[in-house]
Amino acid sequence: MNRTAKQLVDYVPQYVSLYDVDYRDDLDGHEDIQEECIRSNSLEKLYEKAYKWYEEQESSNMHGYLEETRKSMESDGCAEQFEEHEDEIRELIYDRNGSDPVKDLIRNSSVTNFFYSLGVEISGYRTDIPWRGESVAMACYKVRRALHLKKGQFDEKIEELVENAAYGGELRIYFNAMFDRLVSEDAENDFRSIRFYGNVVVAIADSLNGSGHHVRIPLDLTLPFRRDNLFVDSQVHYSYADEVCGMANDWCDSTKWETGMTPSTGSVRKSRMAEHQKQEAVYEKIFRSGKCTFGDMNFKRHRDVRYSNGYPAGCRCPHCGTFWID
């Protein structure tokens, strides 16, 4: 029996690769899954998906290794032992598998546009009143405070930011990252701080209505790490980089960043975007079920929207009554 066990080990190929990810397969079109990994601080969701994607490949490779093993046992006259120990052989093949589809997919992927919300809302112009929700001076003060700057430091940049983001929005730092670097090694032990340095992309973006502006400021800023404030930009609609500005993927490369495990002083208020994202998900679900929601201002989630010349002029959804004033 001992001898047989030893022989089994010898018959099974030494190097096993059950997954063979094509170099053209990546996660660039799967930022929704990246976002799930960021939210849960775990790659588990991605592993679930990847094992599903490569299920057929895995079983056909497994079949190949089993056949290889069976043939070499057969030629030594051990066909019976193969039949008898097939499950153990299968286990051995799994144990020896050195390929990881998730690692390969990540290796093939590009960086992803992220933003870190500073939890600060800037109130700009609104459509119904002719003045700003707060003065430019007040808005600049809030930006400076969030960026740990004193008056006199980058005043012009900050004014440019506030004045060009006329409708206001959320104060954010944009940066590029391989998403797995923002998943901590131990899910129970999340990052404590995040440092932004280099030429930092600072934006005021309004994801609800789709507007905003950004500037680059040479900062060195360490903030407490609050996972709730970290987002894959494409997953928060309207996404600033893609839907609002149509930027190339490398647009926020100039922001350098690193996470840390030592707590950082100060606090960062919670972003409103988590709620917004949940609301969006509900709208999406309702739309996919064939219906729509009154008050959902994304016209893509309504059907048969028509223009009406009446007063006031605008577009109306005949199903839920949502109205877009002209």
Cβ distance to Zn ion smaller for residue 32 or 83 = 83
Closest CA to 122 of 110, 105, 134: 134
CB of 5 to Zn ion, least distance (A): 24
Cβ distance to Zn ion smaller for residue 152 or 290 = 290
Tell which one of 164, 302, 312, 326 touches Zn ion (CB under 5 A). Answer: 302
Among the candidate windows 154-162, 166-174, 268-276, 298-306, which touches Zn ion by CB under 5 A? 298-306
Strands (E), 31-179: 112-123, 168-177
Degrees to nearest 5, angle at CA 299 with 294 and 302: 60
Closest CA to 120 of 150, 141, 137, 106: 141
Residue 89 is a binding residue for Zn ion (CB under 5 A): no
Residue 213 is a binding residue for Zn ion (CB under 5 A): no
Is residue 195 within a helix (H) or strand (E), and if so which, with residue range?
strand 193-206
Residue 317 is a binding residue for Zn ion (CB under 5 A): yes
CB of 314 to Zn ion, least distance (A): 14
Residue 139 is a binding residue for Zn ion (CB under 5 A): no
Tell which one of 277, 292, 295, 306 touches Zn ion (CB under 5 A). Answer: 292
Residue 62 is a binding residue for Zn ion (CB under 5 A): no
Distance CA 117, CA 169 (A): 11
> How many CB atoms sit inside 10 A of residue 207's CB?
25
CB of 292 to Zn ion, least distance (A): 3
Residue 320 is a binding residue for Zn ion (CB under 5 A): yes
Q: What is the DSSP letter of 109?
A: P
Residue 39 is a binding residue for Zn ion (CB under 5 A): no
Residue 315 is a binding residue for Zn ion (CB under 5 A): no
Residue type, 24: R
| 323-325: strand order across its sheet | 306-308, 314-316, 323-325
Distance CA 145, CA 216 (A): 17
Q: What is the DSSP letter of 175?
A: E
Site string for Zn ion, 239-278 (x = CB under 5 A): ----------------------------------------
Tell which one of 159, 286, 319, 323 touches Zn ion (CB under 5 A). Answer: 319
Report whether 74 contacts 1 (CB < 8 A): no
Q: By CB under 5 A, name the binding residues for Zn ion.
A: 292, 302, 317, 319-320, 322
